[in-house]
Amino acid sequence: MFQDQDIIWMSALELSRAIKDGKLSPVEVVDAFLKRIHRLNPELNAFVTLTEERARKEAEFAEKAVKSRKKLGPLHGVPVAIKDNIPVKGVRTTYGSKLYQHNVSQEDYVLVERLVRAGAIILGKTNLPEFGLIAITDNPLFGPTRNPWDSSRTPGGSSGGSAAAVAAGMCPIAIGNDGGGSIRIPCNFCGVFGLKPHLGRVPRYPTLPGWENMAAEGPITRTVADAALVMDVIAGPDDRDYLSLPTPGISYLKNLEKDVKKKKFAFSPDLGYQVIGKEVAEIVRNAVFSFAELGYDLEEVKLNLIDMGPDFVSQVVSETVAAFGDRMEEWKKVAYPPYLDFLWLADHLKATDIVKIQYRRKELWEQNRKLFEKYDFLIAPIAGVPAFGIDLGMGPSEIDGKSIGPTGWMLTIPFNFTHQPAAAVPCGFTKNNLPVGFQIVGNRFDELGVLQASRAFEKKYPWRDKKPPI
């Protein structure tokens, strides 16, 4: 007999197997997670819309399917949370904006269709910054999400509600998206695993406001195997997204345990341009070289990647302003106040400025292409700091006494411009018991390799049993 406390910390794979074997009922599972959400969400504010009635009904249907011995999907009866910029039919999708506070989606996003078809039960929608534009989670509609490791700190963004929910045991799987680090940064700050797939691996339809060629949807989980399980469900082409990639032709989960010791890893402590806090740098370095001591072929490299931070800000602002066009003045009246400090930038950008960004993107890819001719993976920090206080707004202005710009604490942005798959892998804790992780970046289209490399680290240095004190 499983207790609620057992259920909420089981992996999605464990839940799925226990449900199919008749050891757990989907009703028990959904009840356990809803109790957890009701208990913790008032403090964390990870969920902004709870689909409780729908989830209970779906759990009852799922239980009947088990009893009637119907063929069950890979996620049958497993609860999932969806970021609130991903449409779910009949459910409010606000994008964290007062402009959309009453918006009810008319159709499912492609990945939602696939999750439901696989038997997943949607618990609700998770919080994000307005339109997912910044790397913290706060908005004028719902307010800030708090980090379960320290509720005075941010969980990061923009998939902060999703990462906080998984870390706090409010769901085993959450879906986020990553346009500049929005899966990897929250996973880093919350001590969970996350995968940003290659652009197009998971179809994007209906399209989100802005984020035309930067963002990719992916899973946030407590184990690598759960992320592989989700990728088996949500990856693959759909003609509604003209950028969607051909089918990967493999099962990520079935191939997860393949040894990567013959693969070559490069390690960059700063990508050549970013400031890294001393404590974070030490934690990441120790983890990376502990991994190397196990026989993995790893070499520290000196990179000098192009700093695309300013380009990222210009591109995101211009795409957002273009997306909202004639509603801009209406939006400015209700927008998240700090946005007003940079929305004006779009009025000063010329068409040639945006084209120059694409030229710099090509230069960045040329740098990465040469690196990946020699190495299979790149390991680097995700952020130069651990989770910072909510009172710091959109982030620190300095690290260890060195001044930084608005994106000066993030090391995730380059791989959104190059579209390469990248995972956030937990690797340690600060003296204040705050999680720290690193990212494993793969070559183009190689989500499987990134998952295999992440799993190799997880097997030697597991993190799933490390739970926040909330």
Give the tens place of pLDDT for each residue, 166-187.
999 999 999 999 999 999 999 9
4-460: which CATH topology? Amidase signature (AS) enzymes (3.90.1300)
Active site residue 332: no
The confidence band for 69, taking pLDDT boundaries of 50, 70 and 90, is confident
The pLDDT-based confidence of 407 (bands split at 50, 70, 90) is very high
Q: In angstroms, rounded to a whole number, what is the distance separating the alpha carbons of residues 129 and 114?
A: 26
pLDDT attached to residue 110:
98
Q: Cβ(154)–Cβ(389) under 8 Å?
A: yes
SS3 call for 190: helix
Which residue matches tokens 């700063």? Answer: 270
Question: What pLDDT, in 10s, does the model give residues 232-283?
Answer: 999 999 999 999 999 999 999 999 999 999 999 999 999 999 999 999 999 9
Q: Are 139 and 336 in contact (CB under 8 A)?
A: yes
Q: What pLDDT score does 163 carry?
A: 99
Q: Using CB atoms within 10 A of its CB, is residue 19 exposed (0-12), middle (13-18) or buried (19+)?
A: buried
pLDDT of residue 267: 98
Lowest mean pLDDT among 140-144, 227-231, 325-329, 412-416: 325-329
- Angle of helix 278-292 versus helix 447-460 axis, rounded to 10: 90
Residue of 97, 158, 268, 314 marked active site: 158
Whether residue 83 lies in the annotated active site: yes
Q: Which of 16, 25, 83, 125 is catalytic?
A: 83
* Residue spans of beta strands (DSSP E) within 119-263: 121-126, 173-178, 193-196, 216-221
Burial of 158 (0-12, 13-18, 19+ CB in 10 A): buried
Q: pTM of the entire structure?
A: 0.98
**Residue 233 near residue 75 (C-beta atoms within 8 A):** yes
Token reading at 30: 């959904």
Helix (H, G, I), strand (E, B) or coil at 327: helix
> Phi first, then psi: what are they for 446, rounded to 5°?
-95, 55
Q: How far apart are CA 403 and CA 418, in angstroms?
A: 27
How many Å apart are CA 62 and CA 387, to the nearest integer? 38
The model's pLDDT over 24-39, given as tens digits with 9 standing for 90+, comes to: 999 999 999 999 999 9
Half-sphere exposure of 34 (CA within 13 A, CB side): 19
Our separate counts of H helices and E strands in the chain read 14, 13
Partner residues linked to 439 by β-bridges: 380, 424
pLDDT in tens, 291-334: 999 999 999 999 999 999 999 999 999 999 898 878 999 999 99
Structural domain boundaries of the chain? 4-460
Token pair, residue 406, equals 């608005």
Measured distance CA(220)–CA(204) in Å, rounded:
17
Of the residues 16, 97, 159, 182, only one is catalytic, namely: 182
Q: Is the pLDDT of residue 208 over 80?
A: no
Task: Give the residue-averaged pLDDT of 425-451.
Answer: 98
Task: Determine which helix (DSSP H) or strand (DSSP E) holds 299, and give its type and residue range.
Answer: strand 297-300
**Is 158 a residue of the active site?**
yes
Cα dihedral value 340, 344, 413, 369, nearest 10: 170
